[in-house]
């Protein structure tokens, strides 16, 4: 059974860097054809795609966040990560990691989500 | 960016009702349209992909239709566990974008 689990600080100060890791169990993040991604949701609001990474390491970013975001694979740990710099209160949200299977563009597995609050 | 609009942010319905949720795209997304269900405090779950294909394990009372710019999610015979928020998502054009959500509440 595939499981995705987000981890990282729940509180980040304004102007600092948000760092999150998604640990994947039950599948290899280097399995052919899979995309892995990050989506966020401010409390009580809608969903926003942040970034995706192909199993080869090719990255795709939301243009609205591209200048502040970096996503990478950590294959030895079967994890992938998200870094977002220069955070503000507007970046306060639940952050979900997710998987998109081959020949598909829908998200079939989500992590449980982790709340990141940006505050001094 | 393609804007996805769910015209109703919420609706009230009773158990057993037939519920239709609509989603409109600001430009064509052909059939690259997915529907997700989200319950409070939980991650979204995939219901429908490709506008009309039922994801594995999803009850058959859920169905999707539409193409181009107009889409609907129908719940035929609302069950107590269906009270939740529903989001559409387009993956035709990057960045992929989501609708604002429709919350189905108990009447």
**Which of A49, A105, A111 is opposite residue B43, by nearest beta carbon?**
A111
Q: What is the pLDDT of residues A74-114, one digit of tens each?
A: 999 999 999 999 999 999 999 999 999 988 899 999 999 99
How large is the average pLDDT for residues A26-51?
96
What's the confidence (pLDDT) of residue A103?
86
What's the confidence (pLDDT) of residue B23?
98
Q: What is the pLDDT of residues B24-61, one digit of tens each?
A: 999 999 999 999 999 999 999 999 999 999 999 999 99
Q: What is the pLDDT of residues A11-22, one digit of tens each?
A: 999 999 999 999
Q: Do A96 and B36 touch (CB under 8 A)?
A: no
Which pLDDT band, with edges at 50, 70 and 90, does A4 fall under? Answer: very high
Question: Which of B95, B97, B101 is best to mutate for the A interface (most A CBs within 10 A)?
Answer: B95
Question: To the nearest whole angstrom, how far is the Cα of B72 from the nearest Cα of chain A?
Answer: 17
> Is the pLDDT score of B7 beyond 90?
yes
How large is the average pLDDT for residues A54-83?
97
Listing from the earlier edge strand, what are the strands of the sheet with A3-7?
A: A3-7, A18-25, A79-84, A69-74
Nearest to B24 by CA among B46, B52, B2, B45: B2
Question: To the nearest whole angstrom, how far is the Cα of B81 from the nearest Cα of chain A?
Answer: 19
In A, which residues are within 8 Å of B42 by CB distance? 112-113
CA distance A60 to B101: 24
- A22-28 own/partner pairs: CB under 8 Å, 24+ apart: A22/A79, A22/A80, A22/A81, A22/A82, A22/A97, A22/A111, A23/A77, A23/A78, A23/A79, A24/A78, A24/A79, A24/A80, A24/A99, A25/A78, A26/A1, A26/A2, A27/A2, A27/A99, A28/A78
How large is the average pLDDT for residues B66-76?
98
CA distance A99 to A36: 5
Chain B, 10 to 49: residues with Cβ < 8 Å from chain A are: 32, 34, 36, 42-46, 49
What's the confidence (pLDDT) of residue A21?
98
> Is the pLDDT score of B107 beyond 90?
no
What's the confidence (pLDDT) of residue A6?
98
């Amino acid at each position: 059974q595939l499981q995705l689990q987000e981890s990282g600080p729940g509180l980040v100060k304004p102007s600092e860097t948000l760092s999150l890791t998604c640990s994947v169990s039950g599948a290899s993040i280097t399995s052919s054809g899979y995309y892995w991604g990050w989506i966020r949701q401010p409390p009580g609001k809608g969903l926003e795609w942040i970034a995706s990474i192909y199993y080869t390491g090719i990255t795709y970013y939301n243009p609205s966040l591209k200048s502040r975001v970096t996503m990478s694979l950590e294959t030895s740990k079967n994890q992938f990560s998200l870094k977002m710099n220069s955070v503000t209160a507007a970046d306060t949200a639940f952050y979900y990691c997710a998987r998109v299977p081959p020949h598909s563009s829908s998200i079939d597995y989500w992590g449980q989500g982790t709340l990141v609050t940006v505050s001094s | 960016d393609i804007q996805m609009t769910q015209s109703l942010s919420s609706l009230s319905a009773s158990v057993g009702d037939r519920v239709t949720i609509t989603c409109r795209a600001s430009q064509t997304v052909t059939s690259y349209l997915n529907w997700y269900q989200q319950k409070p405090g939980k991650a979204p779950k995939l219901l429908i992909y490709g506008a009309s294909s039922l994801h594995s394990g999803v009850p058959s009372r859920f169905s999707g239709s539409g193409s181009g710019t107009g889409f609907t999610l129908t719940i035929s015979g609302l069950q107590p566990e269906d009270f939740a928020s529903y989001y559409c998502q387009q993956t035709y054009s990057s960045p992929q974008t989501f609708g604002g959500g429709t919350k189905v509440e108990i009447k």
